[in-house]
């Protein structure tokens, strides 16, 4: 855990007259990334600060209900405007990621910016590009850390229903509705306190988990029934999706969210993997149970990392070669997965 004083961070911002602030998060942001970014953005607005949220890419439609999402600047397609805003920024908050590679081409823009960088994150092995660090890899989510940041400032009174809804959403999703091992008693207390701000937790659950398009449901059904391999000798389930299938099912941002978890729900499976051909790059998602470290597997073999039980990776070789490489590497872990 590395926690620069929240007050130290806010004082640095307030000492800079008319400070310009940018908030950004990882590409294809999930609910924790969006919730923490928008929650912080809304909070900074209550302090009268000038902040802009820049997302490296678009985000899932089931997150568009969040307050402030319509004001977000998407870097892809708005490169010139995003670069200008970033170059003029005095401070950049980097939320829910700790390597600049996680924000794609926008990472180069952030890296070159002379702005003070502030990291708020809960992933392991931070790169160390930031000037201020508010990091705890034991936290359930970045949304939990943003709440703790606000609480450390003694400014919980500034939280309103919209801020609370954003932060609650990220906590719910990143804890798997409070069932993952990253969920602590502290997490439950924070969630309860957020509910006290008047949020409708039933509506939030419906918006995030029960608002799938028909297309997405059919795609998930196809992926599970036709594209999932159960590799029993390795206690592993593998789903592979090629670029033609993405086009056939008109898969859009957010449609593959959570797909990897279906494999892990099978009895006896300790390791679930999703491999998707994204044309320029092959993306991989890893989930695990028990003592098997998904993040180490991703880091050692597929240019990735993340949490102990939830990680991501990528490959620059072909889709077919990536699948073959994964199956070959998996052989090294047979004894560990079957322990």
> Does 165 lie in the same domain as 227?
no
Same domain, 163 and 284: no
Structural domains counted in the chain: 2
Mark whether 76 and 110 lie in a shared domain: yes
In this structure, the answer to whether residues 185 and 225 fall within a common structural domain is no
Burial of 308 (0-12, 13-18, 19+ CB in 10 A): middle
Are 133 and 90 within one domain?
yes
Last residue of a domain, one of 209, 232, 263: 209
Pair 283, 314: CB distance under 8 Å? yes
Instruction: Check whether residue 168 and residue 284 sit in a common domain.
Output: no
Given this model, what pLDDT does residue 331 score? 97
DSSP alpha helix (H) spans, 130-213: 142-152, 161-174, 185-195, 201-209
**Domain interval for residue 253:** 214-337
User: In percent, how much of the chain has pLDDT > 90?
Assistant: 92
Q: Do both 227 and 243 map to the same domain? A: yes
**What pLDDT does 1 receive?**
63
Q: 193-216: per-residue pLDDT in tens?
A: 999 999 999 999 999 999 889 999
52 has which bridge partners? 22
Q: What is the mean pLDDT of residues 124-148?
A: 95
pLDDT at 280: 83
Per the prediction, the chain carries an average pLDDT of 95
Instruction: List the CATH number of the domain containing 115.
Output: 3.90.1640.10
- 198 plus 244 within the same structural domain: no
pLDDT tier at 339, thresholds 50, 70, 90: confident
Number of H helices, E strands in the chain: 14, 13
């Amino acid at each position: 855990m590395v926690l620069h004083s929240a007050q130290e961070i806010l004082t640095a911002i307030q000492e800079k007259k008319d400070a310009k602030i940018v908030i950004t998060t990882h590409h294809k942001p999930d609910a924790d990334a969006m919730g923490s970014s928008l929650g912080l953005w809304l909070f900074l607005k209550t302090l009268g600060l000038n902040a802009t949220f820049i997302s490296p890419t678009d985000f899932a439609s089931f997150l568009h209900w969040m307050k402030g999402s319509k004001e977000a600047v998407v870097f892809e397609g708005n490169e010139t405007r995003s670069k200008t805003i970033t170059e003029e920024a005095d401070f950049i908050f980097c939320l829910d990621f700790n390597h600049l590679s996680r924000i794609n081409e926008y990472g180069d823009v952030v890296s070159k910016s002379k702005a003070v960088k502030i990291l708020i994150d809960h992933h392991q092995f931070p790169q160390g590009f930031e000037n201020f660090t508010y990091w705890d890899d034991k936290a359930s989510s970045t949304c939990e850390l943003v709440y703790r940041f606000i609480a450390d400032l003694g400014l919980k009174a500034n939280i309103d229903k919209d801020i609370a809804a954003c932060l609650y959403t990220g906590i719910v999703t990143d804890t798997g509705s409070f069932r993952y091992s990253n969920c602590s008693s502290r997490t439950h207390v924070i969630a309860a306190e957020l509910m006290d701000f008047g949020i409708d937790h039933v509506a939030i659950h419906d918006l995030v988990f029960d608002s799938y398009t028909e297309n997405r449901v059919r795609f998930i059904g196809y992926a599970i029934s036709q594209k999932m391999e159960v590799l029993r000798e390795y206690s592993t389930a593998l789903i592979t999706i090629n670029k033609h299938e993405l086009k056939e099912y008109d898969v859009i941002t957010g449609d593959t969210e959570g797909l990897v978890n279906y494999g892990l729900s099978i009895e006896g499976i300790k390791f679930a993997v999703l491999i998707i051909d994204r044309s320029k790059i092959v993306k991989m998602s890893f989930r695990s149970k028990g003592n098997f470290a998904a993040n180490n597997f991703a880091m050692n073999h597929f240019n990735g990392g993340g949490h102990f039980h939830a990680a991501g990776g990528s490959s620059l070789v072909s889709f077919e070669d990536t699948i073959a490489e994964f199956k070959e590497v998996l052989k090294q872990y047979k004894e560990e997965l079957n322990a």
